[in-house]
Amino acid sequence: MEVLRETNFDFLGEKKTGKVRDIYIQPDRLILVTTDRHSSFDRIIAHIPWKGQVLNQVSAWWFEQTKDIVPNHVLGVPDPNVTVGKKMKMVPVEAVVRGYLTGVTDTAIWTRYSTGQREFGDLKLPDGMKKNEKLPTPVFDPTTKEEGHDRTITPHQMIEEGLITPELLHQVKKTALALFARGQEIAARQGLILVDTKYEFGTDERGNLVLIDEIHTPDSSRYWQIEGYEEQVAKGEQPKSFDKEFLRLWFKENCDPYKDATLPDAPPELVEELSRRYIQMYEQITGEKFVPGELPVIPRMERNLKPFSI
């Protein structure tokens, strides 16, 4: 199965390589190519067929569903793996919204709750809540957006540090919560719970807020299946989710993914299973049949991107 590992389109201008995306920087726009690279442990661990197309097209679909709430950067989707976006001045705040008491990382709301924290943004939680329980209302829980690691700091600290004005932060919060409400409403119709997510914003030349990057993809958002959720939480079990963890676990069991210079190849059957799960998520989120892009992928993209050469 062919995978899109990387691109090198010299006719598109300067290239910046992200974990999953190749970004071509032009004077007034960005060409965002979503590859099939799969990142974990701060490195690429595998290439998953159709993953890039799924992420790009899910995002494009959600941008359409939310453009009445806030304008977005999309100028066009000329290829299944490509979004052309208008260049914006980035707002240095990652707008994280959480709807459920969950997560395992240091910054996760459940981790912080279980060590005694009770106040999260405007929300004060009672004692005795269970893991994976629904929050009384979704909470805006932003982090900084930085080159190194993002930091979890309070909105007040963000303003104090001069990262953002109070007015713009208020607008980011209001917009993020509105996007999340729309996301939860649409996901519920598809049998899904949108658990938490993150948004990135920019401002245009007139200072207006614009949604950029991606929205509600299986990589930027956590989804659970509605079916069985209540029973699983009551039993203290993990809700049924779009699970990518099995591939991470395989690497942890078969090497030291943080230290080994070279990693073993991921087993083909696990790669195939993860590809199937991405496609399944595309179809459940959008309610549309997944149509794989024409192969071979690089000649197709070259053809579709010629109009954007500089």
pLDDT in tens, 164-191: 999 999 999 999 999 999 999 999 999 9
Residue 147 pLDDT more than 70? no
Number of structural domains (the chain) is 2
Please write the tens of the pLDDT for every residue from 206-248: 999 999 999 999 999 999 999 999 999 999 999 999 988 899 9
Q: Is residue 169 part of a domain?
A: yes
| Secondary structure in 3-state letters for 19-88 | CCEEEEECCCEEEEEECCEEEECCEEEEECCCHHHHHHHHHHHHHHHHCCCCCECEEEEEECCEEEEECC
Q: Is residue 246 part of a domain?
A: no
Measured CA to CA, the distance from residue 98 to residue 133 in angstroms comes to 11
Mean pLDDT of 5-18: 98
Examine the domain organization and report whether 109 and 61 are in the same domain. no
Reported as a pLDDT band with limits 50, 70 and 90, residue 1 is: confident
Residue 146 pLDDT more than 80? no
Q: Is residue 23 part of a domain?
A: yes
Where is pLDDT greater, at 104 or 134?
134
Token couple for 167: 């007015």
Examine the domain organization and report whether 219 and 115 are in the same domain. yes
CB 192 within 8 A of CB 224: yes
Instruction: Write down the pLDDT at residue 149.
Output: 61
Examine the domain organization and report whether 184 and 276 are in the same domain. no
Instruction: Write down the pLDDT at residue 177.
Output: 98
Residue 104 pLDDT more than 90? no
**In which domain, by residue range, is 290 found?**
10-88+267-308
Instruction: Write down the pLDDT at residue 105.
Output: 84
% of the chain with per-residue pLDDT over 70? 99
Measured CA to CA, the distance from residue 298 to residue 84 in angstroms comes to 17
Q: What is the mean pLDDT of the chain?
A: 95
Q: How many CB atoms lie within 10 A of CB 235?
A: 8
Q: What is the CATH number of the domain that holds 82?
A: 3.30.200.20
Instruction: Write down the pLDDT at residue 154.
Output: 84
User: Can you name the residues that pair with 193 across neighbouring β-strands?
Assistant: 224
Q: Is residue 165 part of a domain?
A: yes
Examine the domain organization and report whether 138 and 183 are in the same domain. yes
Reported as a pLDDT band with limits 50, 70 and 90, residue 153 is: confident
Examine the domain organization and report whether 276 and 179 are in the same domain. no
Mean pLDDT of 103-116: 92
CB 145 within 8 A of CB 90: yes
Instruction: Write down the pLDDT at residue 252.
Output: 94
Residue 150 pLDDT more than 70? no
Please write the tens of the pLDDT for every residue from 252-264: 999 999 999 999 9
Token couple for 214: 């991606």
Examine the domain organization and report whether 68 and 81 are in the same domain. yes
Q: What is the CATH number of the domain that holds 105?
A: 3.30.470.20
Examine the domain organization and report whether 125 and 202 are in the same domain. yes
Q: Is residue 48 part of a domain?
A: yes
Instruction: Write down the pLDDT at residue 115.
Output: 96
Q: Is residue 45 part of a domain?
A: yes
Q: Is residue 260 part of a domain?
A: no
Query: H/E element holding 114?
Result: helix 109-114
Amino acid symbol at 188: A
Q: Is residue 51 part of a domain?
A: yes
